[in-house]
Each structure stands twice: as structure tokens, then as C-alpha cells.
Amino acid sequence: MKAFQTICRQLRSSKGFSVEPTTRVDFSTSSYSCSRKKKVNPYEEVDQGRYSDLVQSVLSSRGLAQTPESLFEEDNLLYGPVSKCKPPKQDEAAKVPGNWCPLFNPEKSMKPNATSTPTIPLRIPLQRNTIPSVTKVLQQTMTSEQIFYLERWKQRMILELGEDGFAEYSSNIFLQGKRFHKALESILSPQGDLKERDENLESGYVESVQHILKDVSGVRALESAVQHETLKYVGLLDCVAEYQGKLCVIDWKTSEKPKPYIRNTFDNPLQVVAYVGAINNDANYSFQVQCGLIVVAYKDGSPAHPHFMDTELCSQYWAKWLLRLEEYTKKEKNQNIQKPD
């Protein structure tokens, strides 16, 4: 070891040996340099004290279980207190019409005999008089909600089509519905023109109801007027015929939107049941009807939606119709009182 130390001292003292630091060599080009600036961490600019308190509070609450009470308090803080609806009053929920009249007439037979069944469907013209129509009663007694949605739809259509465009659209819808009813009248009538029937088959609406027409037979009335002799209202029904073996008032409707449920047809069930009650109390009709059918047809030919109304369902809507009729009568009476002499 001493010998090694002696050799090292001799080497350092010799002139030909020196220990110098290595010279740094940089490689560079005209467009790039190997030396890069140190990246700045964006989190260094964050308030570390507040950030650490936040992380600690989140981590410390992870293990806490939520309870219904804590969830309710959290929702109350975020969204505000819950607004509870008032329950309906008992008198409104169980409102009974004061103008009660039975839907079915005990004096008429439920099953007419062969001699009373007409071979040609009845077509009684509608007489214009002071007696209100079913359509007028329903229009004059719409709820505020119905009026709101109807007006909103109208304004949206006017905004999209303009005043003239909306008027033309409404006219076209009316004409399409009228042609559809004429086509069905020609198809269901034994006196219909065969050429006209073939032309009507090309209609999308008629194509839409083909699977319904297969179950329709025994047509008793077409585009015929009815009048309830006791309740004093009139109407013009589309058809009375057997559907799957049951005699029904059939109401043909057109729609641009699918209506797969009866609730989608709005006041149409009230209209149908009003016609049922009128037929059963109209001396022009020797038979009695217990059921209804609403058929919603589509222009593109897609299968129509049939909504069958049995005796029980008709009875439920009959009570609602009587309330609407009673409301209309009261409005008319009040308006007559307020009119100056």
C-alpha cells in the first residue's frame, strides 16, 4: 500500500501528467439544440394549502354512507325545497252530473231482429237548428290545459309556415279528412261505385285501415245525423257497423303522429259515446248500440290503430260527457243572462 501511494505522488509531481476536468462538448444544428428548458408544472401555481384541504375533505368523506336524510338535505340544498301538490278535493274527485240520463235505452232491444236490420245503411241528413252539436259542446268546454297546448301548437306552426302557409295547411288537412271519409263511405256502402272503390284503394289512409275493414260488417248507418231527444244535442256520426261481431259507433280519424293509446285521441272517446247515447234515444234508429270504435289512420299507409270501447268504458266516458254538456248549458245560460235586451 505504501508503495502504491509513493507511485501516485511521483506521477503527480512529474511534468507529463496532469488531471484536468473534461471539456463539455455540445452538439447543435442550425434548427435544434439539445439543451431544453425545464417544463413548468401547472400545479405549482395552485394554492397548495386550499388544494390540500379540498383533497383531504373529499378523501375523509369517501367512507361515509349516504342515508335518506342526508340525500334529502343534499337535494334540498342543490335544488330547493320540494313543492307538494295539493290533493284533489273530494267533491271534485267524485263529481256527479246533475243532468243524469242513462246511456242505454231499456225500451230498445239490444239485438234487433232480421226485419229491423236495414239492407241499405241509414243516411239521415243533419238539420241545422238551435240545438248544439257534439263538436260545439266539446270545443266550448275545453280545459285551460287543452286550450294552452292547442294554441301553442298553432303558434309553432304559424312560426314555421307563416300565416298563409298555416291556413293552407289547415285547409289541406280538412280536405284530406273529407276525402278519406268519402272513400270509406264508398267502400262500405253496397251502392258504392266499383271504379271509385278501386281508385280509393290507392289512398294511403285507405291502405292504413285495410286490416280494420276486414273485421267490419253489417253496416247500419253512414254519415248519418243523430239527436238525443232528452238531452237536446245533435251530431253527425261516421259509421255504425259490427266490428268483430259487436255493433259499434265507428269514428274514422286521420293523424300525422302515431296514436297507439286511447288517451292520445283526446276528446274523441267523448264524441263517440255522445253518438252512442244519441242513437239509443233517437226514434229514427230501431237498434241500440253498446260499444264504440276509434280508428286512427295514417297517410303513409302504416297500419291504423283501432281503439275499441266496450260497454264499461263507454259508461265511464258517458259520465264525463254529461259533465261537459252540463258545463256548456250553464255557460250558455250565463251568456244569455248577461246579454242586454
Which residues form the catalytic set?
A: 238, 251, 253
Q: Which cell numbers hold the place of 172? A: 289541406
Max CA pair span of the chain: 147
What DSSP designation does 127 have? P
Cell of 165: 302557409
Around Cβ 126, how many Cβ atoms within 10 Å?
15
Question: Which of 304, 307, 311, 268 shows the shortest CA–CA distance to 184?
Answer: 304
Interacting residues of 52 by C-beta distance below 8 A, sequence separation 6+? none
Strand partners, 247: 242
- Rounded Cα–Cα distance for residues 80 and 149 (Å): 28
For 213, counting Cβ atoms within 10 Å of its Cβ (0-12 exposed, 13-18 middle, 19+ buried), the class is middle
For helices 311-338 and 268-280, give the axis angle rounded to 10 degrees. Answer: 90
Query: Rounded distance, CA 20 to CA 213, Å?
Result: 110
